[in-house]
Amino acid sequence: MRDTAHNALETALRPGVEYADVRVVDLRERTLGTKNGKPSQVAESESLGLGVRVLAEGCWGFAATDDLSKAGMERAAAQAVAIARSSALARVEPVRLAPVDAYQAAWMSPYLIDPFSLSVDTQLGLLLSIDAELRRNSGITLAEASLSLRREHQVFASSIGSLIEQTRTYTGAGYEAYSFRDGDLQKRSYPNSFGGQHQLKGWELINELRLVENAARIADEAVALHDAPPCPQGRFDLILDSSQLALQIHESIGHPIELDRVLGSEANYAGMSFLTLDQLDHLRYGSEIVNAVCDARLEHGPGLGTFAFDDEGVPAQCTRIIDSGRFTGYMTSRETAAAIGQARSNGTMRAASWSRLPLIRMTNVSLLPGPHSLDEVFGADHAIYMETNKSWSIDDKRYQFQFGCEIAWEIRGGKRVRMLKNPIYSGITTEFWNACTAIADRCHWTLWGVPNCGKGQPEQVIGTGHGASPARFRGIRIGAGSGE
Amino acid sequence: MSQTAELVSERQCREALDAAIGAARGSGVAEVEVLIGAEREALTRFANNTIHQNVEAIEHHVSVRVITDQRTARATTSSFDQGAIARATTQAIALARASAPDPGLCPLLEPSEAGTPPAVNRFDEATAAATPHSRAEAVQRAIDAVRSAGQTAAGIYSNGESFEAILNSAGVAAFHRQTSAVFSITALAEDSSGWAKVSSTSSKDVDAEFLARQAADKARRSRHPREIPPGRYTVILSPAAVLDLAGQIFADFSATAIADDRSFLSGRMGEALFGENISITDDVTHPLQSGPAFDGEGAARSRLSLVERGVAKEVAYGRTAARREGRTATGHGFPQPSDAGEMPVNIVIAGGGTSIEDMIASTRRGIFVTRLWYIREVDPYEKIMTGMTRDGTFWVENGEMQYGIRNLRFNQSVVELLRNVDALSPAVRASGEESFDMVVPAMRANEFEFSEVTRY
């Protein structure tokens, strides 16, 4: 693959090309699923190809191919240059890039147990055990369990002399229990919705998740929800579990800090951001206890956004996004950093595959642990505690949001007093984070994987990481009706 | 005579099948299916009145499925190399043998069961041959139209071609070749925006300047948006807004979803769920539709009457669901194995005779919606969806569009929406971002629930 990347780069360096980079990616995936006691998905796939990105006449061109012959590479390189030159027809200013050093590096994400080394029957056996445990409760009408494994081997080469080889191994698993009764469909997922938990780990993640051990509880909760009262509407203190808070972070911190979105690149599709440039270092994003980072380094944890270098050869970094409540940083690329006068990219350019252009994507955007014990977070006289995301929606400036969760409990005096069904909350991003009154400490902090983040045209679906511990928010709007 | 090189030839497909059959035979497996796909997609993206991303990607895949001892599995490769296909086949066999038997598993589709897919011609040479230069010229014209209105343009112009084929060792062989052209534009003014989009199998249907002027006009007319309180309002939904919202229900028109009790139609088939003015078919042969006329196993798609004058009549049946329930498969199955089973994908909602202009003219108080965004399900049985308006939301009063309003969040049951429709425009091919392209009318409906207002 190194030779392929080198050859493709040489091919791309034609007269008039100011900069070029090449990514050669070899991707292997395994997807297993069960449904009501039977295998529903047993599949593996492999995909090998390369993408060539060039800067010519001050404009970008990108072409990708799975034909790695000399002719295929030449065609892709020529097409990338032709595309860049055509872009110049509608150019306002030439692209400028913040500098980056040249790196020669090889990096492999650590794992204890290679997930591809386990036999498929062992892995399916685990899912079938979960399935059996879920359906032990006769109220469960549908049980689904899934396992996804992914290994990306990538070589990046650029015209400034970088040659970076990275191999990342991801593992994910989870399950859902559905119960349908009299027109009421309830669902519980474990350890999270979106196919469960996903991390940059090996099979050891599966052992940590205690999937089978939690199945009976999850099934019981799904069935019990039918008899639970609906979550009351009004303004209440709200406590979120760390998985729901991870998605809250994703939507209302992660997306708005994408600098390409701020600058208008996504205006037609994913939208823009309320975080206009004048807000940097000024906006009171959250309360004093709110601290958030964008951190791709392994020391942050084995997240879906962990790597050694981003997809334009910039080293992994930690950027402080919110510092004691104050907004302090965007996610940038070499181009957008230069556009706002910053000296360097903070390394967040990622592509979903060899066939896609790198874009600014969340790495691991995390809420740092707070100073509170779990008892203190739950210590409110009266609150609603919600767990596990069910629905999520936010406006195209990332300002007004509504989330639904699978289950809630009414909290009185720090104790769960009754289960509630169909909980929903909504709010305005900055009002919500400024209402944060307690964040649990590192003992309760989890780095969640969100595997299905979409952005860009053609759309790219990529995994992102979000660390969070349970937190409490004061006076949040609960319910979805037009009446308060 | 074709002007553009084929992405994949039928000969290559047959060679891929032969390679897979050969590799399987060596392992004592006789039932083999190959699903072949290829796509060339070129997309020019613009924002801030300049082209900022411009890409082309060519991708192929050969996906081999085997059946052995009531077990099935799939392995996929991006290479047409005979060795890669043989390895994928061996891997599929290993996966299948490690899997558990499924007594309900269907054998491979036989040609006699597959039927003959209706002829559809969805390939346009000029669209396949479009160049980055021709896209850039069209984009520049669109940018100029928006800029001349004192606004900023963002959007895409894409064109491409795709190929799909399914062949199996029982003799099924189905091929589909198609082109696509998509133009979408957002015009941004100081405190407002407008949007327009078209999607077709032919770039002849793309008039970039016209769409740019439409978007700019929406942005101009919605400037200085006012805030209106949340509540229930009469709403006029553009075809794109209808598509994005109504499109959320069609995965439920599936025999598997009903059997799993996760469809809003569970226990409701035959009921008058919607108004008498709502009729919905699935019709792959409709001239404004796209996609292959066969399903994920190669079976010919049949026409379905999903909703007839408000009554839920038919749902899609894949082979597994049909076998389980003693029914005939309808040609809407997903590639196997699949937990979702099947789904109608060529939706046509019958239109009416009221133009959007006439809907506005006959509305005393209401809201016109250009586009919806980030739609998610809140209640799966009542199909309550939440989402936002975007890029051109207007207050309508006394028969006229009065002014732009700040965007609103809705929490609305689609079932209830389709009960409350009192006017339909003629149906058109519409394209949004929240659902797949469909043939749908604009609709006016009463009592649409807007639950909150944002500040933009």
Q: Which residue of A has its CA nearest to B382?
A: A183
- Beta-carbon neighbour count of residue A373 at 10 Å? 14
- Residues of chain B with Cβ-Cβ distance to A458 below 8 Å are 41, 43, 55, 57, 158
Residue A93 included in any domain: yes
* pLDDT score of B3 more than 80: no
Residues 6+ apart with CB under 8 A from B302: B330, B331
Q: Which of B312, B256, B302 is nearest to B282 (CA)?
A: B302
Q: Are residues A173 and A307 both part of a single domain? A: no
- Residues of chain B with Cβ-Cβ distance to A263 below 8 Å are 47-48
* pLDDT score of B2 more than 70: no
Among A227, A253, A271, the domain boundary falls at A227
User: What count of residues does chain B have?
Assistant: 456
* pLDDT score of B1 more than 70: no
Question: What pLDDT shows up at residue B274?
Answer: 98
Which residue, chain included where needed, has tokens 């978007």?
Answer: B215
Q: What is the pLDDT of residues B114-171, one digit of tens each?
A: 999 999 999 999 999 999 999 999 999 999 999 999 999 999 999 999 999 999 999 9
User: Which DSSP state fits A115?
Assistant: G
Q: Are residues A211 and A247 both part of a single domain? A: no
Q: Which of B115, B159, B144 is nearest to B209 (CA)?
A: B144
Using CB atoms, pick whichever of A41, A87, A391 lies closest to residue B376: A391
Q: Are residues A221 and A274 both part of a single domain? A: no
- Is B100's CB within 8 Å of A391's CB? no
Q: What is the pLDDT of residues A174-193, one digit of tens each?
A: 999 999 999 999 999 999 99
Across residues B394-399, what is the average pLDDT? Answer: 98
Among A205, A227, A249, the domain boundary falls at A227
Q: What is the pLDDT of residues B55-102, one digit of tens each?
A: 999 999 999 999 999 999 999 999 999 999 999 999 999 999 999 899
Q: What is the pLDDT of residues B94-117, one digit of tens each?
A: 999 999 899 999 999 999 999 999
Q: Are residues A323 and A413 both part of a single domain? A: yes
C-beta of residue B368 within 8 angstroms of C-beta of residue B390 = no
Q: What is the pLDDT of residues A222-251, one digit of tens each?
A: 999 999 999 999 999 999 999 999 999 999
Which residues are bridge partners to A52 per DSSP? A22, A63
Question: What pLDDT shows up at residue B5?
Answer: 72
- Surface of A (414-473) touching B: CB under 8 A: 422, 424, 426, 428, 457-458
Touching check for B328 and chain A: CB below 8 Å? no
C-beta of residue A42 within 8 angstroms of C-beta of residue A124 = yes
Using CB atoms, pick whichever of A63, A268, A482 lies closest to residue B184: A268
The SS3 of residue A190 is strand
| Structure-block tokens of residue B424 | 């339909």
- Is A395's CB within 8 Å of B388's CB? yes
Question: What pLDDT shows up at residue A90?
Answer: 83
CATH-assigned architecture of domain B10-205: 2-Layer Sandwich (3.30)
- Surface of A (68-107) touching B: CB under 8 A: 79, 82-84, 86-87, 89-93
Q: Which residue of A has its CA nearest to B104?
A: A38
Which residue, chain included where needed, has tokens 């439409």?
Answer: B214
Question: What pLDDT shows up at residue A220?
Answer: 98
Q: What is the mean pLDDT of chain A?
A: 96
> Where does the pLDDT of residue A482 fall: very low under 50, low under 70, confident under 90, or very high at 90 and above?
low
Using CB atoms, pick whichever of B49, B96, B262 lies closest to residue A178: B262
Residue A462 included in any domain: yes
Written in H, E and C, the secondary structure of chain B is CCCCCCCCCHHHHHHHHHHHHHHHHCCCCCEEEEEEEEEEEEEEEEECCEEEEEEEEEEEEEEEEEEECCEEEEEEECCCCHHHHHHHHHHHHHHHHHCCCCCCCCCCCCHHHHCCCCCCCECCHHHHCCCHHHHHHHHHHHHHHHHCCCCEEEEEEEEEEEEEEEEECCCCEEEEEEEEEEEEEEEECCCCEEEEEEEECCHHHCCHHHHHHHHHHHHHHCCCCECCCCEEEEEEECHHHHHHHHHHHHHHCEHHHHHCCCCCCCCCCCCECCCCCCCEEECCCCCCCCCCCECCCCCECCCEEEEECCEECCCECCHHHHHHHCCCCCCCECCCCCCCCECCCCEEECCCCCCHHHHHHCCCEEEEEEEEEEEEEEECCCCEEEEEEEEEEEEEECCEEEEEECCEEEEEEHHHHCCCEEEECCCEEECCCCCCCEEECCEEEEEEEEEEECCC
C-beta of residue B434 within 8 angstroms of C-beta of residue B281 = no
Name the percent of chain A lying above pLDDT 70: 99
Q: How many CB pairs under 8 A join A and B?
A: 278
Task: Give the minimum alpha-carbon distance from B129 to chain A in angstroms, rounded to a whole number.
Answer: 14
Touching check for B131 and chain A: CB below 8 Å? yes
Q: What are phi and psi of A313, to 5 degrees?
A: 80, 20
- Is A396's CB within 8 Å of B43's CB? no
- Residues of chain A with Cβ-Cβ distance to B63 below 8 Å are 45
Q: Are residues A387 and A461 both part of a single domain? A: yes
| Total domains present in chain A | 2
Angle, alpha carbons B272-B273-B278 (nearest 5°): 85
Q: Which of A151, A192, A155 is nearest to A171 (CA)?
A: A151
* pLDDT score of A444 more than 70: yes
Touching check for A357 and chain B: CB below 8 Å? yes
**Which amino acid type is present at position A39?**
P
Counting Cα atoms < 13 Å in the Cβ hemisphere of A66 gives 22
Among A227, A248, A268, the domain boundary falls at A227
Q: What is the pLDDT of residues A32-90, one digit of tens each?
A: 999 999 999 999 999 999 999 999 999 999 999 999 999 999 999 999 999 999 999 88
Which residues are bridge partners to A150 per DSSP? A29, A170
Residues 6+ apart with CB under 8 A from A354: A23, A24, A25, A27, A47, A48, A49, A50, A51, A64, A66
C-beta of residue B56 within 8 angstroms of C-beta of residue B128 = no
- Is A144's CB within 8 Å of B61's CB? no
- Beta-carbon neighbour count of residue A230 at 10 Å? 12
Q: How far apart are CA B284 and CA B300, in angstroms?
A: 10
Residue A484 included in any domain: no
Q: What is the mean pLDDT of chain B?
A: 96
> Where does the pLDDT of residue A381 fall: very low under 50, low under 70, confident under 90, or very high at 90 and above?
confident
Q: Are residues A50 and A192 both part of a single domain? A: yes
* pLDDT score of B173 more than 50: yes
- Is B55's CB within 8 Å of A458's CB? yes
Q: Which residue of A has its CA nearest to B87?
A: A46
Q: Are residues A210 and A342 both part of a single domain? A: no
Domain spans of chain B?
Answer: 10-205, 225-456
Q: How far apart are CA A461 and CA A466, in angstroms?
A: 16
Across residues A388-409, what is the average pLDDT? Answer: 97
Which residue, chain included where needed, has tokens 């699923």?
Answer: A33
Could you list the residue range(s) of the whole structural domain that residue A297 is in? 234-478
- Residues of chain A with Cβ-Cβ distance to B88 below 8 Å are 46
Q: Are residues A214 and A245 both part of a single domain? A: no
Angle, alpha carbons A131-A134-A138 (nearest 5°): 120
Using CB atoms, pick whichever of B96, B381, B388 lies closest to residue A42: B96
ipTM: 0.94
> Where does the pLDDT of residue A483 fall: very low under 50, low under 70, confident under 90, or very high at 90 and above?
low
Task: Give the minimum alpha-carbon distance from B352 to chain A in angstroms, rounded to a whole number.
Answer: 30
Q: Are residues A378 and A431 both part of a single domain? A: yes
Touching check for B337 and chain A: CB below 8 Å? yes
Q: Are residues A269 and A181 both part of a single domain? A: no
Q: C-alpha dihedral over B79, B85, B89, B95, to 10 degrees?
A: -20
| Structure-block tokens of residue A45 | 């796939």
Which residue, chain included where needed, has tokens 């300047």?
Answer: B209
Question: What pLDDT shows up at residue B193?
Answer: 97
Q: Which residue has the higher pLDDT, A14 or A320?
A: A320
Question: What pLDDT shows up at residue A194?
Answer: 85
Residue A483 included in any domain: no
- Is A90's CB within 8 Å of B50's CB? yes
Distances (CA, A) of A329 to A178, A326, A420, B168, B193: 41, 10, 38, 55, 27
Q: What is the pLDDT of residues B297-338, one digit of tens each?
A: 999 999 999 999 999 999 999 999 999 999 999 999 999 999
- Is B388's CB within 8 Å of A65's CB? no
Residue A173 included in any domain: yes
CATH of the domain at A126: 3.30.2290.10
C-beta of residue B393 within 8 angstroms of C-beta of residue B370 = yes
- Beta-carbon neighbour count of residue A284 at 10 Å? 16
Q: Which of A275, A346, A435 is nearest to A98 (CA)?
A: A346
- Surface of A (9-68) touching B: CB under 8 A: 33, 35-36, 38-49, 51, 59-67
Q: Are residues A162 and A255 both part of a single domain? A: no
> Where does the pLDDT of residue B4 fall: very low under 50, low under 70, confident under 90, or very high at 90 and above?
low
Distances (CA, A) of B164 to A69, B110, B183, B195: 24, 19, 23, 32
* pLDDT score of A484 more than 90: no
- Surface of A (248-277) touching B: CB under 8 A: 263-269, 271, 274
Q: How far apart are CA A1 and CA A152, in angstroms?
A: 12
Touching check for A333 and chain B: CB below 8 Å? no
The helix (H) or strand (E) run that includes residue A338 is helix A334-339
| Structure-block tokens of residue A207 | 């052992």
- Surface of A (125-144) touching B: CB under 8 A: 128, 141-142, 144
Q: Which of A241, A240, A282, A275 is nearest to A255 (CA)?
A: A275
Q: Are residues A255 and A216 both part of a single domain? A: no
Which residue, chain included where needed, has tokens 């872009």?
Answer: A87
- Chosen for mutation from B12, B49, B52 (greatest number of chain A CBs closer than 10 Å) is B52
| Structure-block tokens of residue B439 | 């043939």
Q: Which residue has the higher pLDDT, A92 or B15?
A: B15
Residues 6+ apart with CB under 8 A from A189: A174, A175, A176, A177, A196, A218, A388, A406
Across residues A441-446, what is the average pLDDT? Answer: 97
* pLDDT score of A361 more than 70: yes
Sheet holding B438-440, edge to edge: B311-312, B304-308, B280-282, B347-349, B438-440, B428-430
